[in-house]
Structure 1
Amino acid sequence: MSLNDPKWWQDSVVYQVYIRSFADSDGDGVGDLPGITSRLPYLRDLGVDALWITPFYTSPQYDHGYDVADYTDVDPLFGTLADADHLVSTAHDLGLRVIVDLVPNHTSSEHAWFRAALAAGPGSPERARYLFRQGRGPGGAEPPNNWKSVFGGPAWTRTDDGEWYLHLFDSTQPDLDWRNPEVPEMFAGVLRFWLDRGVDGFRIDVAHGLFKEASLRDQMVAAGEEPKSGEVSAEHSMVQRDAFVDEPMWDQPEVHDIYRQWHDILDEYGPDRMAVAEAWTQTTESMARFVRPDELDQAFNFAWLLTDWSADDFAAVVTRTLDAVRPVGASPTWVLSNHDVVRHPTRYGGGERGLARARAATLTMLALPGSSYIYQGEELGLEQADVPPEHRQDPSWFRTGEDGRDGCRVPIPWSGDEPPFGFGPAGSQPWIPQPEEWKSLTMAAQEDDPSSTLAFYKAALAARRTFAATAGTDVQVEVADDVLTLRRGPVTVVLNCGDSAVPLPEGEVFATSGPVLGELPADTAVWLR
């Protein structure tokens, strides 16, 4: 990929940086912008094309930056605007693009707008920027509807004056009312602010959630069932299409008018600016609506992430995804891990077998047309960490008591034999403790080992560059005896999801996820040409 390529995202590899856990420059235990800048040569050498950075804006950090108090400044925890500018310019000098996270569904409860709304009281123009409503029942003591928060519990909180406000996530993240023209006007300004500073694109958080049905009616559920807690669950996310959940809070048609406006703003800055949607939709068809030619450029394909270890299921996702994006002329995306889900080596069973499967799924993903998103630390083979309760910080943990997302957010290990493993200055301890056993998984421990997961990623990404932009978008999909075969131009991908080795097809092996000696072992993938 070249910085001169106007459609660079169509076949790029994007590396997700969870800013708190990537590199700490000042020893406070939290990653920051200067820390990222210091590690940009590593990302270039790894072979990625771009980095996506999670929110670094001014925030009280109740949800680790996804509760934004000021969209046009940097939180002192992470640095300064000058640090952000330096990161972008350094990345460009190294041939890397920069995508920043935008959080438009909700603000922080400490945002100036929400503070003004609380002070102004019911019926005020300030409250009209959010979704305040009167409660139901005697004295309005019950929430306005039956919606549940993604983080557990009701999606409504009552204020001191008796009104309720909607928050589909934490109570410190009040949802905006996108039918109020002040809201899209404000975010148009935010887009231009960061585009003026040279960013190459935006990852749109909760892209499917901006509009709710105007009536804010109850969610319909079967008799005796509880309302669903917000975002689409695995069994309804583009894998099965025969069962649907009533979702008046998600994926409303009006959202597409906003993305047409954003498309025009991005085009003002040139054809090489992009946006990718985090849209948990129920079908591939609804996902594809976000990437029509006059809307966003990409949408995350969570079906690949949610699929079980099965050749048949992988094949179904590939076929459905390509069938969905083809009519709108969009490029697909593929992802296996991020900061909200269990790391895929652990999902695939953990240990040596889980890692073997993770590498095989990654190699298969990297061969597909479109772009691949990889999550920091997966190139080191990191599994989900077991975080003791006293160190957990995910707001969903405090609302539900469930494990939450802390285990995939532990700061990554760079070097050394003990924490902080080069994450920050010696003696500083990360905001979430690192497992002692990670000393064998540091970047330094793996960089000279040709059998390491880091070496595998470097080799796979280098091999991918030889065909990613030229192999075309047509894929032939075959499954036999739990072996998936994908043919794309001159490249054949074979993934063995079975329990025993199978014969290799004819062809030159030019990438493999593990040792291959005449046969393709179980839990292994190979590229042939």
Structure 2
Amino acid sequence: MTSPETAERTDVLSSRPGAEWWRTAVIYQIYPRSFADSSGDGVGDLPGVTAHLDDLLDLGVDALWLSPFQRSPQKDAGYDVADYCDVDPLFGTLADFDEMVAEAHGRGIRIIVDLVPNHSSDQHEWFQSALAAGPGSVERARYLFREGKGEHGELPPNNWESVFGGPAWTRIIEADGSLGQWYLHLFDSSQPDFDWSNEEVREAFRDVLRFWLDRGVDGFRVDVAHGLIKAEGLPDYTPPEDAASMGGEEEDVPYWGQAGVHDVYRDWHRILAEYPGDRVLAAEAWLPDADKTALWVRPDEMHQAFNFPYLQTEWDAATLRVVIDDSLRAFSAVGAPSTWVLSNHDVVRHASRLALTAENPQGYGIGPDSIGRPIPDVGLRRARAATAIMLALPGSAYLYQGEELGLPEAIDLPDDARQDPTWFRSNGERYGRDGCRVPIPWSASAPAYGFSATGASWLPQPAEWASFARDVQVSDPDSTLSFYRALLRVRRTHELGFGTLEWLDGFGPDVIAFRNGNVTVIANLGSTPIVLPHGNVIATSGPIVDGDLPVDTAVWLATDGA
């Protein structure tokens, strides 16, 4: 299907130096198992994505990023890949993938696929061969096998801890039944880390890139992009007690942000450049600050890097201004766009996170017994206002499925329903990420709220999901969905992604106020209403009361006759 709007969008996003589509794109993250289930088995799939492409076109996004759908035992929801060049039957077939790409491209929507290069599944043929081959073999050299410490090798090679809790090393039983070497897994024990100093590993991933590029994908989001290279000698390291699970707060971590990783992405950049059009590499790299993150997007490396310092910023005007300034300065210095994000499949949804009443380190999640549970109405107000700020900023932005519906974190999941490895490896001390991964609602009165015709759902959906369903919101001009559609329409019409931010003074320390082109953005992050200047209101995250902008509310105003 190609509409006049689609044709216009495709032309606007056509390749020209300095105006590549990814510089300003709004990219929608699909977590396939929780998006739409076409088969009725309770797990979302690729045909489910295809069936809802018109809804995504209506929303106004430019591209889709799909979390992993490749063959996998699903020990970590697909981030444990057993075959990088096939679709897991849980999600469909390669033919389903090809149809989805063709249908998306026909609507002017691009496709980005997730790539997981730090580790594979322990069911990958390479790892199974490594177990069988024994110490010193070329098969084991593809992973990080090491002898243990202690008199009989009974201690792990170093003190590293897994992101999911517990030790980052597992000892194997050799073919003769004896206790053998240990292998490194920064995540679950079912996810052994590759040794990226091995050229065979590098060549294998060049082939993986070309396999999907040949099928027409427009780029890759690279999982754990900062973790591929480990420090020489694998030295001991003890992170601070309150460190986030994926890093991002400390310097000189021996398994995050090592300099050698940049050679990998320079190599990948050259491969993408072999293909016509503007293909994109987007880095999931949790790093201490914008300057460190910008190193990932220098002209010959990746094209985007998620702005996690921005995502992690508290609801405070002064702090936000600093992070925005730092981001625009650091990324523009290397010729890259800032890439803004508020939610994804690994963090508490921002409609809940922005209203938490206690500290909640990234990766811990929220559950029934969590201290400092969010205040729902405050969370939704702040989430809408935060989105209004983000979508007016120059650069690219990522949306996570369901945030356009105002979905909060699903907190009260029963223990026996949880599936995140974090929950099990931490012995229930961390709830993990299941709460942001609950299947999204499409229809208030349908089984599983329209996610699955049979009513099956791999994670239970809260009863209040009905009020967030798309069919309830689509014709309501005040709904969160209508708000997102309005913002995306104005963002495109006024080319805010290509714009320049100019801060506006005179609104007080608790207000974010800036101009981008002929759109003025004012957001009240304080504790009292503020007087709103005269202007043509284009969009507002909440009601304006007697000419005042209430607390936790943002507005877009047209200026200069727009």
* TM-score interval, normalised by the smaller of the two chains: over 0.9
Q: Pairwise mapping of residues 334-483 of structure 1 onto structure 2 (< 5 A)?
A: 334-349=340-355, 350-386=375-411, 387-400=413-426, 401=428, 402-417=430-445, 419-425=447-453, 427-468=454-495, 472-476=499-503, 480-483=508-511
**Mapped contact 1:56–1:65 kept (Cα < 8 A):** yes
1:5 corresponds in structure 2 to: 14
Q: Select the residue among 252, 267, 270 that pairs with 1:264.
A: 270
- Distance in structure 2 (CA, Å) of the matches to 1:462 and 1:51: 17
Q: Pairwise mapping of residues 56-135 of structure 1 onto structure 2 (< 5 A)?
A: 56-135=69-148
**Mapped contact 1:152–1:229 kept (Cα < 8 A):** no
Shift in Å at residue 354 of structure 1?
Answer: 1.1
**Mapped contact 1:148–1:229 kept (Cα < 8 A):** no
1:184 corresponds in structure 2 to: 202
- Structure 1 runs of 4+ with >3 Å offset: 225-230
Change in CA separation of 1:471 and 1:510 when aligned onto 2, cut-off 3 Å = farther
Q: Pairwise mapping of residues 223-302 of structure 1 onto structure 2 (< 5 A)?
A: 231-232=246-247, 236=249, 244-302=250-308
Shift in Å at residue 307 of structure 1?
Answer: 0.8
2:359 corresponds in structure 1 to: none
1:40-83 Cα shifts (integer Å, max 9, x gaps): 00000011111100000000000010000000000000000000
Change in CA separation of 1:101 and 1:121 when aligned onto 2, cut-off 3 Å = same
Change in CA separation of 1:114 and 1:477 when aligned onto 2, cut-off 3 Å = farther
Q: Select the residue among 468, 476, 498 that pairs with 2:526.
A: 498
Q: Select the residue among 23, 43, 54 that pairs with 2:36.
A: 23
TM-score when normalising by structure 2: 0.89
2:4 corresponds in structure 1 to: none
Shift in Å at residue 515 of structure 1?
Answer: 1.1
SS in 1 for 2:460: coil
2:211 corresponds in structure 1 to: 193
- Distance in structure 2 (CA, Å) of the matches to 1:418 and 1:79: 23
Change in CA separation of 1:418 and 1:91 when aligned onto 2, cut-off 3 Å = closer
**Mapped contact 1:168–1:230 kept (Cα < 8 A):** no
Please say if 1:521 is aligned against 2:556.
Answer: no
1:108-165 Cα shifts (integer Å, max 9, x gaps): 0000000000000111000000000011112111110111100001000001132000
1:7-65 Cα shifts (integer Å, max 9, x gaps): 10111111100000000000000000000000000000011111100000000000010
The residue identity in structure 2 corresponding to 1:52 is: W
The residue identity in structure 1 corresponding to 2:476 is: D
Shift in Å at residue 184 of structure 1?
Answer: 0.8
Please say if 1:309 is aligned against 2:315.
Answer: yes
SS in 2 for 1:367: coil
Change in CA separation of 1:333 and 1:135 when aligned onto 2, cut-off 3 Å = same
**Mapped contact 2:282–2:303 kept (Cα < 8 A):** yes
SS in 1 for 2:404: helix
2:366 corresponds in structure 1 to: none
- Distance in structure 1 (CA, Å) of the matches to 2:173 and 2:497: 61
Shift in Å at residue 470 of structure 1?
Answer: 7.1
**Mapped contact 1:219–1:227 kept (Cα < 8 A):** no
1:395-418 Cα shifts (integer Å, max 9, x gaps): 111111111100100000111326
Shift in Å at residue 284 of structure 1?
Answer: 1.1
1:318-352 Cα shifts (integer Å, max 9, x gaps): 01101111110100111111000111111122322
**Mapped contact 1:498–1:523 kept (Cα < 8 A):** yes
Please say if 1:509 is aligned against 2:537.
Answer: yes
Change in CA separation of 1:210 and 1:448 when aligned onto 2, cut-off 3 Å = same
- Distance in structure 2 (CA, Å) of the matches to 1:468 and 1:146: 50
The root-mean-square deviation of aligned C-alpha atoms, in Å, is: 1.6
**Mapped contact 1:30–1:430 kept (Cα < 8 A):** yes
- Distance in structure 2 (CA, Å) of the matches to 1:323 and 1:501: 31
SS in 2 for 1:288: helix
- Distance in structure 2 (CA, Å) of the matches to 1:31 and 1:511: 33
- Distance in structure 2 (CA, Å) of the matches to 1:182 and 1:166: 18
The residue identity in structure 2 corresponding to 1:389 is: D
**Mapped contact 1:12–1:371 kept (Cα < 8 A):** yes
Change in CA separation of 1:354 and 1:226 when aligned onto 2, cut-off 3 Å = closer
Q: How many residues align?
A: 516
- Distance in structure 2 (CA, Å) of the matches to 1:230 and 1:171: 16
**Mapped contact 2:237–2:253 kept (Cα < 8 A):** yes
- Distance in structure 2 (CA, Å) of the matches to 1:36 and 1:497: 36
The residue identity in structure 2 corresponding to 1:136 is: K
Change in CA separation of 1:290 and 1:477 when aligned onto 2, cut-off 3 Å = farther
SS in 1 for 2:173: coil
1:352-386 Cα shifts (integer Å, max 9, x gaps): 22101100000100000011101001111111012
**Mapped contact 1:147–1:227 kept (Cα < 8 A):** no
Shift in Å at residue 424 of structure 1?
Answer: 1.1
Shift in Å at residue 428 of structure 1?
Answer: 3.1
SS in 2 for 1:420: helix
SS in 1 for 2:449: coil
**Mapped contact 2:222–2:282 kept (Cα < 8 A):** yes
SS in 1 for 2:22: helix
SS in 2 for 1:30: coil
- Distance in structure 1 (CA, Å) of the matches to 2:556 and 2:244: 41
SS in 2 for 1:187: helix
The residue identity in structure 2 corresponding to 1:524 is: T
Shift in Å at residue 507 of structure 1?
Answer: 2.9
The residue identity in structure 1 corresponding to 2:72 is: S
**Mapped contact 1:130–1:175 kept (Cα < 8 A):** yes
Q: Select the residue among 221, 234, 239 that pairs with 1:203.
A: 221
Q: Pairwise mapping of residues 130-149 of structure 1 onto structure 2 (< 5 A)?
A: 130-149=143-162
Shift in Å at residue 290 of structure 1?
Answer: 0.4
- Distance in structure 2 (CA, Å) of the matches to 1:527 and 1:499: 20
**Mapped contact 2:148–2:181 kept (Cα < 8 A):** yes
TM-score when normalising by structure 1: 0.95
**Mapped contact 2:183–2:192 kept (Cα < 8 A):** yes
